Structure 1
Amino acid sequence: MDNIAEIFISWFPLLLVLFIMWVMPIILIARSQKVGRQEKLAWIVACLFISWFCLLLFMLIAPLKPNDK
């Protein structure tokens, strides 16, 4: 049991950094004012699967049409 706890504690910082790197693009897209709600939802769903690549695409081509406020 102690061995599992030691492994978890030793890997926790790396796992935390990886989790933050996975969640950051989702937060950035969710807070963006470049696109409307429906397009933002599509970007977030895509980001769940291809995280940083999707953020790069979002930054390059996101304002495809005016906001639907």
Structure 2
Amino acid sequence: MKKLMEILMELDDSIDWENETALIDERILDSFGVISLISELEEQFDIEIEASEIIPQNLNSADAMWKMIQRLQEN
């Protein structure tokens, strides 16, 4: 989770990543931000994030992202 938080802070340090729960729903993270984030997560965690995984439930919060990363690493 520490590595994820470092990635998120590099992406945009003005967002309260630890407490925000509607990053996609409230358009805090725009489409460019999502693309950048997905690319960085794939590279840093050695996972492949399919288009079907790029949904608000997986990206609305750092906790949701972490759960997705862990699930994808298990496969």
Instruction: Give the TM-score normalised by the residue count of structure 1.
Output: 0.36
Q: Which has the larger radius of gyration?
A: 1
Higher helix share: 1
Instruction: Give the TM-score normalised by the residue count of structure 2.
Output: 0.34
